[in-house]
Amino acid sequence: MPRYKLIIEYDGAPFAGWQLQADQPSVQGALEAAVKATCGEDVRVHGAGRTDAGVHALGQVAHCDIAKPFRADRLRDALNAHLRPNPIAVLSAAIVPETFEARFSAVKRHYLYRIHNTRANLALEIGRVWRVPRRLDADAMHAAARRLLGKHDFTTFRDTECQAKSPEKTLDQLDVIRQGDAIRIVTSARSFLHSQVRSMVGSLVWVGEGRWSADDLAAALAARNRAACGVVAPPEGLYLVKVDY
């Protein structure tokens, strides 16, 4: 049975997250409905990351097994036709070995968090960025972010409902970049805990506002206590950018 790798872009705003839910719309559910409309089969679509409600993706990766053979580009086009009007696009489809797993074969995941740092209200970027009106010190945020790099127990930045077996993760990248009124926070790791990125971003914003120092951020990490976390950034600024294999 052919296995297909899909690269997917979506606006997370209308969905309760990636994961299939019985009573709420999900990205996974919309994709599985599109597959069934295309081939008539009930097929499970497995994603590389279970993005939360409201989180977007520029390069989510998924795989599925379909008994009926398709040319990869025709499968892509058929899925996109059946996905309308959902804000989901299958950017590419490819036939891959049956050993490929979207989630477990991944070696690194890349996320972007976007902050609009201006007092002006949002117009075109509503639902796409976090507007923080108070001027942020991006250099201080970047310097503090260095304290989170490497292998740590990230319990402080882990959602209380996280199902990961261990709170230990190795953070490979966490950069804070200002471009005018835009602040981009770029991070990568093999995997992340539930709400880890949003928790780190919110705490970094406290650094940028002057509420916390880099030492305060390091102390929060060392506390290994969810109560020590700063504010959790809202989901609309977060994007799953790419997954490496």
Asked whether the beta carbons of 145 and 204 are under 8 A apart, the reply is: yes
Q: Give residue limits of the domains in the chain.
A: 3-96, 108-244
Q: How confident is the model at residue 22 (pLDDT cuts 50, 70, 90)?
A: confident
Pick the CATH number of 108-244 from 3.30.70.660, 2.60.120.10, 1.10.1040.10, 3.20.20.450: 3.30.70.660
Query: Average pLDDT, stretch 116-133?
Result: 96
| Residue 48: exposure state from Cβ atoms within 10 A (0-12, 13-18, ≥19) | buried
pLDDT tens, 180-206? 999 999 999 999 999 999 999 999 999
Q: How confident is the model at residue 132 (pLDDT cuts 50, 70, 90)?
A: very high
In order of 62, 192, 203, the CA distances from 50 in angstroms are: 11, 10, 22
Residues in the chain, overall count:
245
Query: Average pLDDT, stretch 135-155?
Result: 98
pLDDT tens, 38-97? 999 999 999 999 999 999 999 999 999 999 899 999 999 999 999 999 999 999 999 999
Q: Which of 23, 52, 175, 215 is catalytic?
A: 52
181 is catalytic: no
Report pTM: 0.95
Same fold, 3-96 and 108-244: yes
pLDDT tens, 217-242? 999 999 999 999 999 999 999 999 99
> What is the structure's pLDDT at 163?
87
3-96 carries CATH number 3.30.70.580: yes
